[in-house]
Structure formats: structure tokens, C-alpha cells
Amino acid sequence: MTLKQGSSPSQDGVVESDRPIGLRNDPISVAVNLHPFQGEKAKEHFKTTDPGVDVTRLPVIGKFLARAMKDRKFQFLLIVPNQIIFWIVIAVGIFGVTDPGRNFGPAITWYLWFCLVFVMMVVVGRAWCSMCPFGGFGEWIQRKTFFKRTQKALGLGRKVPESWAGYGLVISVATFILLTFIEEYFNIAGPGAPIATSFMVIGIVTTALLSFLVFERRSFCRYICPLSSLIGSVGSMGMVSGFRTRDREVCMSCQTKDCMRGSEDGFGCPWYTWPGSADSNALCGLCSECYKSCPSDNIGLFVQAPLTSVIQPVKRRLDIGIAVAALFGLVFYQQYNALGWYGTIDDKLNSILHWPHYPDPVAYLGGIGLGALAVWALTMLVRAIAKPLAGSSSKSSWFTTIAYALIPITGADYFSRQLPKFFKHVTRVGSAIVHPLGMHPGIYNTRLLSDPSIVSVQLAVMGLGTAASLYAAYRISQRDLGPQSSRPRAVVTATLVMVFAISVLATIVYMPMHAAS
């Protein structure tokens, strides 16, 4: 995504100023024409990102998975358990006990759910998107059915404006930053009053529903959902590459493109991700609609080695690079504001700004901005050390390439921030479940780990994230930056030093935090 004057941003967050005008307003045509490679050129372009194992063709489980995903009830059955849980969260948050540790709503949301989402991201990618109750509820209303193939949707069915779509996941990271500010200001995830968790969930559901009624398909999930940028970037570490073509030439020669436009058996891709041009798992919502729709049985569910979608894509997305920098700025801000010295600074800022309490918007946005700006500045320093060759990639391209190497440490940082609540309080979920029955098991104050042990686990997680980021930095800089530099060894070394310095800084802060949640 390079936004410059006179260019028209596409629905895929990529400017194609020379694209025919007729294609710019049709997201299906945009997706299909993003990579118009055929024959040997297509094989060369996609050889590093095409996964090799189609799980629907595996012995024993392959036939079962294929049959399940062809069934229109497949995604409904994934969504409905979470749908039930989240409506219970809303109800008990409003009508249940006021102690957040004994109320099922905040207990399961903040002590368990967020950790599970991060595990799913790292292992599978957008697994949560396939079972999300927010998108699921909006989609059921939009389609006027739980799982049947309908022909006419409810609502206005508008396309996301080009001026929005060109920013890709940047809108999503902005909504994530906004939601996090609201959560911290009202101490929702403390957790605070259970009703606050309910109102937050109601707000997300309402926003999703309104989006589904205004825009077509899963525009909310792709562009607006607060979690989309986090899952799309951190989830690229995952081992599920998504639904991809088995034979790209079949996709290229297909006249109907039912996977994008829909057929009698399935809807067109709700995420506007064409399997014929997919080279990462960032924008595959694992909904299986393309698998149902393809008339040639040419789509499979593929798995890949960890970090493949971080390291291998030839064409990287600037919106993901921006998202990674902003997300890192946010989580690092949350780290240092948990330290004792920050409270004094925060009190002074609140006094000057006449702001009632933490977080004040100036320090919040300023801290995130400074973190993101530091990532940009360090990548520009690496570029200066590398002495790029004439005609090499732009500054934004260098920034994007190096930002991808920070995905593992950013994901590890977010996961580590959730661990204190999990290890200190996850047993309260069981207590909250049986509390309405008048049962009071002696597990309410049971901890899984002591504070020093929690810090040790956090450091171990950050160590793994550091190792993964260094590996990604080495592979990415050697393949993508070295050939563009007059000092190829220097650019690899500088990239590794930058990534190592950022990772170590984020890691050592957990020691004085003393397992603060």
C-alpha cells in the first residue's frame, strides 16, 4: 500500500495506478488481477509461498475434513458455541454478581479467552475469524440464514469506499487502539465491573451488525474489526496457510471465478481473497466458501511451516508493516506504564491536561506514536548503513520488509502481557461457572504459578519470539535487502542488530514489572 497523489488505492490495500479504471471499483476483478501471472512466470512468483500439504488429501482425516467443509453447516457449527458463550457473557455481566472474579462474563473473557485467541493465532492464523461470534452474528443477519445458500442479502450491500479500502488493515489497527483506550480508561479488563465487559461486547456486536447491514460481505472483518490487524499480522506465523489453489493454471483459465462470485453451493469469498493469487494467510478467514463454490474441485486447505507467511511473501503489504509498528508501540506503552515510575509522570500529565485519570490521550497516542516512529527510524538507519543501489526499493518498502521481521517478537509481547492474568486467575473461571449454583469450590484464590515463575515464563516466551524474529530478519534481509544494497553483509548485520535490540528492550522490561497484569 503506497498512497501517493494520482494513485487509486485498491480493495487489497495496494495502489495500482495503472490498473484499468473499470477494475478499480470492482473488488472481485481487483483481487483476480492482482497477480496476472501465468505458466512458468506464475510458478516462479509463487514458488516460495505455495504450501505443499493439502490436509483434505491426507489419508484418514482428509476425507472427513473434505466432507465436513463441503457441508453448509460447517462454519455455523464452529460459530454457534462461541455465539452462545458471548450472549451468556453479556447476560451475566448485566444481571449476575458484581464481583468480576465470580462473574462468568469478565472471568472467561479476560482470564482465558484472550490467551486462547493468541495461541490460535500463532498455531493456525485466522482460526478465530472462522468461529468469531461477532462476524458470525452479523453475517447470519446479512444472509438471512444460519447456513443456507441465499441469493439476496439484507441491507444496503455497499462496497467499502476506495478511500477506506486503500488503507487495508490500518483502519483495523486504529479501531484496536481506540478499543484498547476505552478498555483501559474504564478498567474493563482489570477486570472491573462485569457490566462494563457486557457493554463492550454489545458495542462490538452492534458495530459489526451495522457494518454488515451497510457494506457487503465481511467488509467489517477485513477492514474494521479491532482484532483483524492483530490476527492478520501476528497470525502470519501460523502453520495453516488457508484455502489455496491446487493448480494455478486451472484458476487462471476459469471463466466463472465462482470462488469469488459465488455458486449454488457457496457464497463468493467474504474476504475478497482469491485463492489463485494468495501468497500468505493474512487475509484468509478460513470460512471454506471458496472450497464449496469451486466447480473444478481445485481448492484445498493447506498447511505450511511456521513463519512461512512472515518470511516468504515476495510482495509485502505496507498496511501490515504499519500495523506491526503501531501494535508494537501500543504493547510497549502498556509495558512501561506498568512500572512504578510511570505513575508519577502520568499524575503530572493528568494534572496539566485536567484529565481525570490514566490513560490520558496525549500520553497514550504519543507513546504509541513514538514506538512506531522508533521502528521507522531504525529501519531508515539500516537502509542508510546498507547504502542502497540505484533503483532499489523505496523507503516504505524497506520499512515494510524489516517490519515483517518484528512480527514474532510483537506477537510474543502481546501473549506475554496476557500471561499474568491467566496464571493468577484462570481458576476463577471454574469458580464463576458453579457460583450461580450455590457452589463455592476452594479454587477462587488458587494460582497456577507464583509471580517469579510467571516472569520466568514471560522471559521464555519473549526469548522464543526473539529467536523467531532474528531468524526471520536473517532470511528476509539476506534474500530481499542484500541484493538491493551495495553492502549486503552490512545490511544483514544491521537488520539483526536492530531486531535484537528491540527484542531485548521489550524483554527486559518484564523483569521490573514483576508479573503486573
Residue 260 CB partners (closer than 8 Å, separation 6+): 28, 31, 32, 268, 269, 272, 274, 290
Answer yes or no: is 342 within a domain.
Answer: yes
pLDDT at 91 over 90: yes
What's 359's DSSP letter? P
The domain tally of the chain equals 2
Please count the residues of the chain: 517
Max CA distance (Å), the chain: 74
Q: Which amino acid is at 473?
A: A
Compute how many other C-beta atoms are within 10 angstroms of the C-beta atom of residue 457: 18
Whether residue 10 is predicted with pLDDT greater than 60 in this model: the reply is no
Cα 492 from Cα 418, distance rounded (Å): 32
- pLDDT, one tens digit per residue, over 214-235 is 999 999 999 999 999 999 999 9
pLDDT at 140 over 50: yes
Q: How confident is the model at residue 213 (pLDDT cuts 50, 70, 90)?
A: very high
Residue bearing the bigger pLDDT, 118 or 31: 118
Asked whether the bond before 359 is cis by omega within 30 degrees of 0, the reply is yes
Q: Which residue has the higher pLDDT, 498 or 30?
A: 498
Domain membership flag for residue 40:
no
Q: Where among 211, 234, 257 does a domain terminate?
A: 234
- pLDDT tier at 66, thresholds 50, 70, 90: very high
Residues 337 and 480 in one domain: yes
Query: Does residue 43 lie within any of the structural domains?
Result: no
pLDDT digits (tens, 9 = 90+) for 241-294: 999 999 888 888 898 999 999 999 999 999 999 998 888 999 999 999 999 999
Q: Within this chain, do residues 86 and 213 fall inside the same structural domain, yes or no?
A: yes
- What is the overall mean pLDDT for the chain? 90
- Per-residue pLDDT tens digits for 428-462: 999 999 988 888 888 888 999 999 999 999 999 99
Instruction: Give the rounded percent of residues in the chain with a pLDDT score beyond 70.
Output: 91
Residue 263: inside a domain, yes or no? no
pLDDT computed for residue 33 by the predictor: 59
pLDDT at 18 over 70: no
More confident residue, 26 or 340: 340
Q: Are residues 200 and 332 in the same domain?
A: no
The alpha carbon of 368 is separated from its chain's Cα centroid by a whole number of angstroms, namely 18
Query: At which of 197, 213, 234 does a domain end?
Result: 234
- Of 5-9, 39-43, 97-101, 474-478, the one with minimum mean pLDDT is 5-9
Q: What is residue 232's predicted lDDT score, i.e. its pLDDT?
A: 95
pLDDT band at 98 (very low <50, low <70, confident <90, very high): very high
Q: Are 186 and 84 found together in one domain?
A: yes
CA torsion through residues 254, 256, 260, 265, sign: negative
pLDDT average, residue stretch 116-131:
93
Query: Helix, strand or coil for residue 180?
Result: helix
The answer to whether 375 and 292 have CB atoms below 8 angstroms apart is: no
Does 324 share its domain with 225?
no
Do the domain assignments include residue 249?
no
Q: Given pLDDT bands bounded at 50, 70 and 90, which one contains residue 517?
A: confident
Q: Is residue 11 part of a domain?
A: no
> Rounded to two decimals, what is the model's pTM?
0.91
Residue 189 and residue 84 in one domain: yes
When pLDDT is averaged across residues 461-487 and rounded to a whole number, the result is 96
| Segments forming the whole domain that contains residue 380 | 318-513
Reduce the DSSP state of residue 158 to 3 states and report it.
strand
Nearest Cα neighbor of 384 from 472, 483, 501, 494 is: 494
Same domain, 86 and 230: yes
| Residue 262 lies inside a defined structural domain of this protein | no
Q: In the listed set 218, 234, 250, which residue is the last one of a domain according to the structure?
A: 234
What digits encode the pLDDT tens for the residues 28-40? 666 665 555 555 6
CA distance 184 to 204: 16
Has residue 337 been placed in a domain?
A: yes
Per the structure block, which three cell numbers stand in for 3? 498512497
Same domain, 369 and 492: yes
What's the confidence (pLDDT) of residue 31?
63
Alpha carbon separation from 196 to 95, 117, 135 (Å, rounded): 12, 21, 21
> Residues 230, 324: one domain?
no
The reported pLDDT for the residue numbered 72 is 95
Residue 27 pLDDT more than 80? no
Is 43's pLDDT higher than 80? Answer: no
Q: Which residue has the higher pLDDT, 256 or 6?
A: 256
**CB-based burial of residue 234 (10 Å sphere; 0-12 exposed, 13-18 middle, 19+ buried)?**
buried
Q: Model confidence at 26, in pLDDT bands (50, 70, 90)?
A: low
Nine-digit cell at 382?
A: 539500516
Output the pLDDT for position 191: 87
Residue 508: phi, psi to the nearest 5? -70, -20
Cβ contact 498:401 at 8 Å: no
For residue 303, give Cα distances in angstroms to 139, 232, 262, 284, 337. 27, 16, 24, 13, 39
Same-domain pairing of 224 and 335: no
Mean local confidence (pLDDT), 312-326? 93
pLDDT digits (tens, 9 = 90+) for 190-204: 889 999 999 999 999
Calculate mean pLDDT across residues 359-385.
95
